[in-house]
Amino acid sequence: MEFDTFDTETFADELAQAENNREIATRVLFENERVRVWELALEPGQRAPFHCHAVPYFFTCVDAGRSLSRFPNGTSVEVDYAEGDTWFDNIANGPEIHDLENIGDNRLRFTTVELLDS
């Protein structure tokens, strides 16, 4: 994973609201008092806006592809995801903010589970 930089002013309005944006994916598939299960599906060139992860979560890649994520500190990273790639984040350093853009040639899709009772 190689980090790059970008001009945060391009996204200034969105970043100002990001801490309050808990819409971490495209749609909620299931929710109860313990978990919230999301689907994130992005077509090529489509972007999920800056949002905040405030509780521990994990995601699994359902449809492989390439993404670009930007962070409030002006860094960005491109990632190639394979089907089945899974990642867990316990939010040990506090809430995390980023966006996600599909920079590949096919649909990029994830299932994300937030652990609400953590």
Q: pLDDT by residue (tens digit) across 51-74?
A: 999 999 999 999 999 999 999 999
DSSP character string of 21-50: ----SSEEEEE-SSEEEEEEEE-TT-EEEE
Q: pLDDT by residue (tens digit) across 12-31?
A: 888 888 888 888 888 999 99
Percentage of the chain with pLDDT > 70? Answer: 98
Parse the chain into domains and list their residue ranges. Answer: 3-115
3-115 CATH:
2.60.120.10
Q: What is the DSSP letter of 14?
A: H
